[in-house]
Chain A
Amino acid sequence: MTTFAEHSSSLTARGDERTLGAIPPVEYGLIRAHVFASLVTVVISALFGLLVATKFTLPEFLGGHSWLTWGRLRYNHTQGIFFGWLGNAFLASFYYAVPRLANRPVFSRKIGWFLFVIWNFAVVLPGWVLVLAGFSQPLEWAEFPLVVDAFVVLAFILMVFEFVVPFLKARLSDLYVSAWYLIGGIIFTMLAYPVGNFVPELVPGARGAAFSGLWIHDAVGLFVTPFALSIAYYVIPATTGRPIYSHFLSMVGFWVLFFTYPLNGTHHYVYSAIPMAAQKGAIVASAYLGMDVILVVTNLLLSLRGSSGTASKDVPLRFVWFGVISYLVVSLQGSIQAFMPINRVIHFTDWVIGHSHLAMIGFGSFVALGGIAHMWQHIPGTRYNERMMNWSFWLLATGLTLMITDLTIAGLVEAQVWESSAPWIDSVRAVASYWLVRTFSGLPILAGFLLFWISLVTGPRLSETTTSAASRPTAENNAAYENVPEFSPEVQPSGWLSYAHVVAFGAGVGFFALSFLVLAILPGKELADQIKRVAPAAMLPLTASEQRGRVIYGREGCAYCHTQQIRSLAADVRRFGAPTEAWETKYDYPQLWGTRRIGPDLSREFNLHPRDWQLTHLYNPRFVVRDSVMPPYPWLFSGSANQPTQEALDLLAYLQSLGRARRLSGFDQQTPAMSATTDTSVDMAMAGDPSGRATPPTVPIAMTGGISDSAPVLHPSSNPYDLQEEISHGATVFAANCASCHGTTGRSDGKASASLLPKPANLTAARFSDERLSSVLWNGITGSAMPPWRQLPTEDLRALVAYIQSLYVAGAQPTTQAAANPEVGKALFTAACASCHGGAGAGNGPVAGTLTPAPTNFHLKQPTEERAWEVLENGVPGTAMPPWKSQLGEFERRALVAYVRSLYGTPQEGPKQ
């Protein structure tokens, strides 16, 4: 770009050692302290991550104690990487770079040590402990509780004094791009952090989510990216001994990054209730950012031109090079992910988790590692062990590549299942093997970090006055340094140019403020107006118990696997119900929309599962869903699912309140014009999909249960050979989906049986017609834990019918051998049973409509004599069926048994049950 000749003709010479003065002191003690803290915390954070990953495969591993549950470890994993690892690594780099770039020492050593203590002993350590103890904030990248956030803000204020003031003392026209990134990162993170952490506590639901989205992106864009790029822009020329390709391009890249990064935030909520103008703005800004990253990376790679030999030999430079390539890939990936056709497919999947790891490890961590290694070679008395450093690089690179590839594919697999009508648990099963690989990929990453640490402490011991060969500038580099003029080529800026940096910085702050205005404040105002316009007049706030449950929901990290935002997409609506609207979230402080789905969305949980199912599921999810990877929460119970503590009941109350406002308000029965989501721009995805509806159901048909006349009757094959095949297949489907409740042999002795009321049916104790089984499988049984299974393929449902019918143990003997009189039985039935079961025993008596579960239709279900006798003696707990032992004698009961059994297969009248 610009040549030395150009400089020489127009420069005012200034800046050899006499002009620049003495070398300013460098706080090497603080560098060592922060490097040590960063390596301790990265190993702990990686261990948290490894545990989190392991729990996907072994969900009950260390699951008995609240401090080691998935959600809390997950919070600490990301916050540890953010504050503990990257925060300390960046701080170390500041102490190294600021004296060099500003030609001034940092502001104060005392403030430096105070900052070190604040950062590690008022932020990282107490943050971890508080999260494990259950005090946290369920917001992405903002999980540490508010009391810790206050210290983070204090730390950033101290950073301004420590690292920004030296640059203000220096002449601004000397500022190298690394300094700009350093200053920009500190100032803008200091401004963005409170907005992302405190505002969602004050602004509810969708409006708060707009602010959260900004911080989610700013955490990467204003903290990780600037500081990592600051290191990259330093290490590359410092290692090669040649200036970067173009400082002009680096400054264009810097400002466009700071202008556009904050505008990206809402791309985390595409297809949500946030106004479409903000969503589109974020998408456009994302594309713009992608172009900027190409510019930045091109400039950095051109700065390495002709240095391939150095890059292959110098491990710190290799770390940085890997980080720069990762930066390009992850940024382009991010831009593409924001585009609606891509976003609708991959959002909430493991693809995004892979993307996050590529950003935080591939880019941020690799550059930070390169920076630390580079510093270590230049700090007096410290050198790394080159062999181990090499191993560290390759372990990290291999582990990360495996992890990203694995998670990316897993995301595509999840997306494919979610787009289909398959049950949700199928997506969990489909990626189980990928989660296992991901866990193993974490091992080399953890080993890589450990080896990096070891390499720093096992480097060659240097005498105080010598330098190792590894750290000595190579001949090539020395030659390159010698090409730099003896004076510092610098222009004395004149006129307005001398204020250019100030103007640029003012513009940066202005754009930053503008991002909040455009993506949070204005959309928030629009949402507030919309809420006033469309929200039902009577919207119940949460009760005290539900409020407490909400806190537990946040504390345990439920929002990190279950979203509470149904997007305006046909696939979402089919599976979960009507898209979430802003007014539904007006009491959500802070919002719990979530950014990831491992379990299903819970926005419409109201009336979806009965109380006993919910409690059993919370106590141990695998009791009711065999292949669930949800963590168990035994500390919410006193020893069994039947003994919930108040905390479990509070959480249950909260779960059962989700979607209640919408259901009870009759919102969906109002005119479509009342619905905010009928805005065609918001609903554009559904508009193009034939299955999309202008006023979609509040709760999806596939999950509600209830009787449907349209349930198909599935007849097993009449061919014995085919029937055997169906039974065999049915056994497999049964084991995967039904055995948790009904037991492996269908005798109602599954793990969940003890805590479900009514108990799951003993499938060996009754003969079921094709029609009855088809109806139950299609609709579930309202008032019981039996869900509808119509998402299963028809061949699976038919196979289940065949298998369940094969379980019937014919010939079970009644407890009495006395002969029964059918006429007596009929008379007794009419007198005692017909009000519920109907005169003809079709389950359609006058009061049947008020009972859940519905009374048995004996034309479609024939209990064994033993079972019928047991029911008459003891009733059916959890249903309206009472025991008749005290009212009816043995003879009468026997007559009733014979009568109800005789009805099976006979023609019935009235509505089918």
Chain B
Amino acid sequence: MINLIMIAISAIVLALLLLWLLWPEFRVWIEAPKYFMLRQVHRFNHADQRSRPDANPGNPE
């Protein structure tokens, strides 16, 4: 049983590797979030630097 699971995991990883190698669109899609994250960090840093502490009180409820 455990052997089957480990083989299944290996197969999934191998499939992902093949996807990455053979399909450029997948490669671009899978890497996209790291740039999005960085933009967000940049946006928030600038917003924080511009803002006063009390000017950003959080989620108004």
Contact = CB atoms under 8 A, between A and B. Distances in A.
Given A237-B41, A484-B42, A23 B9 contact: no
Contacts of A491: 25, 28-29, 32
B51 A247 contact: no
A10 B13 contact: no
Nearest to B49: A467
B22 to A, nearest CB: 13
Nearest to A8: B28
Contact of B36 (A109, A174, A234, A238): A174
Contacts of A15: 36, 39
A174 B53 CA distance: 29
Nearest to A17: B43
The range of chain B's interface size is 35 or more
Nearest to B39: A488
Contacts of A489: 28, 32, 35-36
B41 A252 contact: no
Contacts of A29: 58
Contacts of A381: 53
B33 A248 contact: no
B38 A6 contact: no
B50 to A, nearest CB: 8
Interface in B7-31: 9, 12-13, 16-17, 20, 24-31
B33 A10 contact: no
A528 to B, nearest CB: 17
B31 A246 contact: yes
A176 B33 CA distance: 5
A108 interface: yes
A20 interface: yes
A67 to B, nearest CB: 40
Contacts of B12: 255, 259, 507
A207 to B, nearest CB: 17
Given A25-B57, A255-B12, A284-B2, A178 B37 contact: yes
A7 to B, nearest CB: 6
B1 A26 contact: no
A464 B53 contact: yes
Interface in A7-28: 7, 10-11, 15, 17, 20, 23, 25-28
Contacts of B56: 25-26, 28, 380
A105 B51 CA distance: 17
A507 B6 CA distance: 14
Contacts of A484: 35, 38-39, 42
Interface in A161-195: 173-178
Nearest to A110: B61
Contacts of B59: 25, 27, 105-106, 108-109
- Main secondary structure, interface of B, reads helix
A73 B26 CA distance: 52
B34 A281 contact: no
Contact of A259 (B9, B16, B33, B45): B9
Nearest to A490: B32
Contacts of B43: 17, 20, 23
Given A7-B28, A175-B33, A260-B9, A241 B38 contact: yes
A226 to B, nearest CB: 17
A43 B34 CA distance: 35
B40 A101 contact: yes
Nearest to B47: A23
B34 A518 contact: no
A469 to B, nearest CB: 13
A247 B34 contact: yes
A649 B43 CA distance: 67
A755 interface: no
Given A29-B58, A252-B13, A491-B28, A177 B20 contact: no
A108 B55 CA distance: 19
Given A263-B5, A285-B6, A108 B61 contact: yes
Contacts of A522: 1
Interface string A505-532: 0010001001000100010000000000
23 contacts: A1-B31, A6-B27, A15-B36, A100-B41, A103-B40, A105-B58, A108-B61, A109-B59, A173-B33, A176-B36, A176-B37, A243-B38, A248-B27, A259-B9, A281-B2, A284-B6, A288-B9, A380-B48, A464-B53, A484-B38, A488-B36, A489-B36, A490-B32
Interface of B: 1-3, 5-6, 9, 12-13, 16-17, 20, 24-45, 47-49, 51-61
Given A29-B58, A490-B36, 16 more contacts: A1-B31, A7-B28, A7-B35, A20-B43, A23-B47, A100-B44, A108-B59, A173-B32, A175-B33, A255-B12, A263-B2, A378-B48, A484-B35, A489-B28, A497-B25, A511-B5
